[in-house]
Amino acid sequence: MKEEASEKGKGIMKPPSAKVSSPCVSICALDVNDICIGCHRHADEIALWTTFSDEQKREVLGKVREREQDALIG
């Protein structure tokens, strides 16, 4: 289980089945490859996010991490 800090500094436990949050950071603009410069999701992944299962969302988040790394290196 993942531990997160609460407002009072105490940890709370999140079950592994917790809902997957959107990586949106409200910086919404697509590059020439239709990748958002804010959250690093493809336009199709953004459009379909609410229809994805948690497993599919985790797969997208894996791609997001790779794209973030590529953006830092490139």
Please answer whether residues 67 and 35 qualify as being in contact, where contact means their C-beta atoms are separated by less than 8 angstroms: yes
What is the per-residue pLDDT across 7-44, written as a single tens digit (0 to 9) for each?
Answer: 455 556 555 667 999 999 999 999 999 999 999 999 99
In a domain, 34, yes or no: yes
- Total domains present in the chain: 1
- Domain range holding 33? 20-73
Specify the pTM.
0.73
Amino acid at 54: D
Q: Two tokens at 7?
A: 């407002």
